[in-house]
Amino acid sequence: MNNYYVVDKSLLPEAFSRVIEARKLLNNGEVKNVSDAVKKVGISRASYYKYKNFVYEAENNRQRKAVISFLLNHKSGILSEVLNGISKTDANILTINQNIPINNMANVVISLDINHMNISVEAMMDKIRQIKDTSKVRLITIE
């Protein structure tokens, strides 16, 4: 958590508050898509996408979650190696979805409780990228 600060929102650009507001509209189903959300709150889509995974409201006892996806070669033990690597970060795995391999590649999506991680999500993803037979590691969302 060394990369985070708690800052009074009056010191931050208005776009940050609007990104949070747009995310709430999307999560509550008040709008159908990002375009509608950003129009309603008065920011550009570029601003929304630039900050959406980095700006959050401070809440007590909040459980932070991340969703990552990646491709695995269809070889025995690769998913186990990834899961062991994730467990070493103190992230709690909430769900794992793996599709059947097509052309010897399987898509995997993992949701994580990242509240107590001992490294950043970016550092964890870099560790996954270093595992042989993994590719296209990307962050889908953080909340």
Q: What is the pLDDT of residues 36-95, one digit of tens each?
A: 999 999 999 999 999 988 888 765 445 688 899 999 999 999 999 999 999 999 999 999
Residue 37 shares a structural domain with residue 79: no
* Residue-number span of the structural domain to which 99 is assigned: 65-142
Residue 6 pLDDT greater than 90, yes or no: no
For residues 41 and 76, membership in a common domain is answered with no
> Rounded to 5 degrees, what are φ and ψ at 94?
-95, -45
Q: Which pLDDT tens digit goes with each residue over 122-143? A: 889 999 999 999 999 999 888 7
Within a domain: 60: no
Residue 19 lies in a domain: yes
Q: What is the pTM of this model?
A: 0.59
Higher pLDDT, 138 or 6: 138
**Under 8 Å CB-to-CB from 108, ≥6 apart: which residues?**
69, 70, 71, 72, 79, 82, 96, 97, 98, 99
The count of structural domains within the chain is 2
pLDDT band at 8 (very low <50, low <70, confident <90, very high): confident
Instruction: Confirm whether 138 is domain-assigned.
Output: yes
CA distance 72 to 79: 7
The answer to the question of residue 113 being in a domain is yes
**According to the model, what pLDDT value does residue 61 have?**
46
Q: Which CATH number fits the domain that encloses residue 88?
A: 3.30.70.260
Looking at the fold, whether 69 and 127 belong to one and the same domain comes out as yes
